[in-house]
Structure 1
C-alpha cells in the first residue's frame, strides 16, 4: 500500500506542482551535508504555502528549520514586506539552511535563529504577534511549543503541527517512545485548551502515514 501512496504523491506533484529546481537542489544539498531526510513532502510543502496565503500571513514563525525546505515554501507565501523567523537547534543544520535560502532568493525575508527553541521563544514577546506558525521540531516539546505559539499569536493566528499521528503510534497508551509520549501530551493539551479551535488531518503519501494539527487561536 505504501508504494501506492508514493505513486499518488508523484501523480499529485506531476499534475499540480511540477518540477522545481530550487527545491530539488535544496534536498540534494541537505543530503550532501548529512541532514536526515525528514522534510515535509512536496505536496505538504505546497499545502503549507497555501495555508499561509489563505491566512494572509505577513509574519510567520517556524519551529524546526532543518535544511530550510519548508522554510522556502513558507517564505514564498509571504508578501514582499513579510518576514519569517525560523528556529533551529543545530548550527550545522542552520548553516545548510541559510545556503539553501540564499539560493532560493528568499533569505532577505528570513531570520534563522540557532539554539534551543524554548529559549528563543521566551525572548520573542516583543516580536509578536505572528500570523502563522509551523511546528516541526522535537516532539517531546510540542505541547510547550503550542502554548508559546498561542502567546506569540493573536485571535485568528493559524497553527500547524507536523507528525502527530506517527503511523498510529499516537494510540499507544503505554509507549515509552518519547516522540509518542510527547504527541499524546500535545493531544491532552489541545483537548483542554480553551484558546484554540483544533483538529487533526491524517495524511498518507511519500511520508507514509502521519498527520497535521490544524488550529486557530480564538
Structure 2
C-alpha cells in the first residue's frame, strides 16, 4: 500500500459519506490563501471528531490548537444550542483566519477563540470557572503534550473524553532513542496516561489522505 492508495480510499469515503460543504471548503481555501500549514484534520477525521462529540453528548469542548478553525467547526456543529467550544491558539494570524471561518459557518456564538500560548491560557480557564469540559481535543505542539494532559485532567470531570492527535510521528513514537522533541513529547504523554489511575486509554494507527498517523483516545474514570 502507498500514499496514492490511502488518498484514493479517503476520497471515496468522503464522496460516499460526506456531502459537499461549501463552508468547510472555504475554510480550507482561506487557510491555504493565508499561507497556514496544512495541518488540519482530513474531512473524514473531522466527521469522526463530530461523531465523538455527539456520542459524548458534549456541551463544553476544549480544543488546544485552533489553526484555521477547520476542526473547530466540526466540533462546534456537534453542540446543542447553548454549548461552547473554547479553542486555544498561540498564533494571532491563525486565530484571525479561524475567527473569519467560524463566523462564516454561523458558529461565532458557540466558539471562543483565545490567543496565547496554551500553557498560559489554560490556567485562566480554571480561574474563570469554565470547567469541567466534556471533551478535550489536543492538537498543538507535541513537546507540550504532557502539560496539556495535566491541564486537561484539571479541567475534566468523570466521563470526560480526551483525544490526542498526530501521535504516531511516522512510527517514531515506538523509538525510545529518538532525539525529536515531538516524539519525546508524545511518548511522555503516553507514559503519563498509562500511569494515571484516572484514565483508561488507547491509541489507533491510521492511514489516509494525511499520510501515516494516528490518535489517542482516553476517558476520565474518576
TM-score where L is the length of structure 1: 0.99
Please say if 1:178 is aligned against 2:181.
yes
**Residue in 2 that maps onto 1:194:** 197
- What is the CA–CA distance in structure 2 between the aligned matches of 1:3 and 1:178, rounded to whole Å? 29
The 4+ residue runs of structure 1 with deviation greater than 3 A are none
Provide Cα deviations, 1:22-78, integer angstroms capped at 9, x if missing partner.
101000000100100010000000000000000000000000000000000000000
Give the Cα separation in 1 of the matches to 2:166 and 2:96: 24
In 2, Cα distance between the equivalents of 1:156 and 1:171? 29
Mapped pair 1:7 → 2:4: no
1:58 match: 59
Secondary structure of 1:77's partner? coil
For 2:193 and 2:207, the matched residues in 1 are separated by 23
**1:96-132 deviation line (CA, Å, top 9, x unaligned):** 0000000111111000100010111111111110001
Structure 2 partner of 1:120: 121
Q: Using the alignment, how far apart are the partners of 1:204 and 1:216 within structure 2?
A: 24
Structure 1 spans left out of the alignment, 5+ residues: none
- Please state whether the residue corresponding to 1:7 is helix, strand or coil: helix
Query: Does 2:48 match 1:47?
Result: yes
Instruction: Measure, in 1, the Cα distance between the counterparts of 2:20 and 2:208.
Output: 18
- Counting only pairs closer than 5 Å after superposition, residues 1-218 of structure 1 correspond to structure 2 as 1-125=2-126, 126-218=129-221
- How far apart are 1:177 and its partner, in Å? 1.0
CA distance in 2, matches of 1:217, 1:68: 26
Shift of 1:18: 2.1
Cα drift, residue 80 of structure 1? 1.0
CA distance in 2, matches of 1:8, 1:94: 32
What is the aligned length? 218
If the length of structure 2 is used for normalisation, what is the TM-score? 0.97
Structure 2 gap segments, 5+ residues each: none
Q: CA RMSD in A?
A: 0.7
**Offset at residue 210 of structure 1 (A):** 0.8
Task: Tell which deviates more after alignment, 185-194 or 43-52.
Answer: 185-194
How big is the shift at 1:176?
Answer: 1.2
